[in-house]
Structure 1
């Protein structure tokens, strides 16, 4: 059993995975082709990795309201939910991309295309880490272990 974390954007979908339900790891980045193909690609990952839960970052506005981007993510998520048996969970992702960019700046390469893919994966890791630390980690483990 695994859990996926998704950072769904207009151009790419960053994916993180936790197979031990304790730690999130970058998995891959999917270049968006079209909703139908994107969902097929994600369903393939769900099947191959025996995914039970998909944690999808919900990009709320800073004031907590649902904006246009969050509505797009919700619409995509509804379509994904119809095509997979995995449970869909939303996670507030406010500022995860900013944090992912900060992490990337301290560790990565300058190649722009590679950078964007890695940032999307890091954002997905942050989304999944937040979920895991709240619902799956024993209380004696530190949040950033």
Structure 2
């Protein structure tokens, strides 16, 4: 049994979250953090989940352009990851974060995860109008499941 992993899908309105099971087999939705246009507002909530769930790895979506290059959103995701690391480090130094170490944080190409999330919600008979509150956390599930699956493929 391992420490669960956390998937993070950065959005402008919401940051979607997903957690793995301790066996690192399946990803499941873990909710959204409403950020009203500033994903950096989710940092404290994400840190709380990392601490509460004893997360061993964080997988953050990297929104690359279709040609594989990093645009404005990709650079913002990199800044967000750095802010997460810096904030956790500061909290650990002041003794207010109960972790033995900062978990590994990985940026992972998230191209087309939102498309997959919408498809999965449609397949689950969630009407198009009702997708909005679920699509960010479902995108985090798709992202995290991809990381879990590639981990298993590498091990095999």
Query: TM-score range, shorter-chain basis?
Result: 0.7 to 0.9
- Residue pair 1:7, 1:13 contacting (<8 A) in 2 also: yes
Question: Partners of 2:50 and 2:112 in 1: how far apart?
Answer: 26
CA deviation vs aligned residue, 1:66-121 (integer Å, no higher than 9, x gap): 01111111111110111231211011111110111111112143374x52121111
Match of 1:130 in 2: 146
Aligned length: 138
Match of 2:27 among 24, 27, 34: 24
- Residue pair 2:122, 2:128 contacting (<8 A) in 1 also: no
List runs of 5+ in structure 1 lacking aligned partners: 140-145
- Residue pair 2:20, 2:26 contacting (<8 A) in 1 also: yes
**Correspondence 1:1-145 to 2 at 5 A:** 1-20=3-22, 21-32=24-35, 34=38, 37-84=41-88, 85-110=102-127, 112=129, 114-136=130-152, 139=156
Question: Partners of 1:120 and 1:17 in 2: how far apart?
Answer: 13
Using structure 1 for the length normalisation, give the TM-score. Answer: 0.86
- Runs of at least 4 residues off by over 2 Å: 33-37, 108-112, 136-139
User: How far has the Cα of 1:35 moved from its partner?
Assistant: 5.3
Q: Secondary structure at the match of 2:30?
A: strand
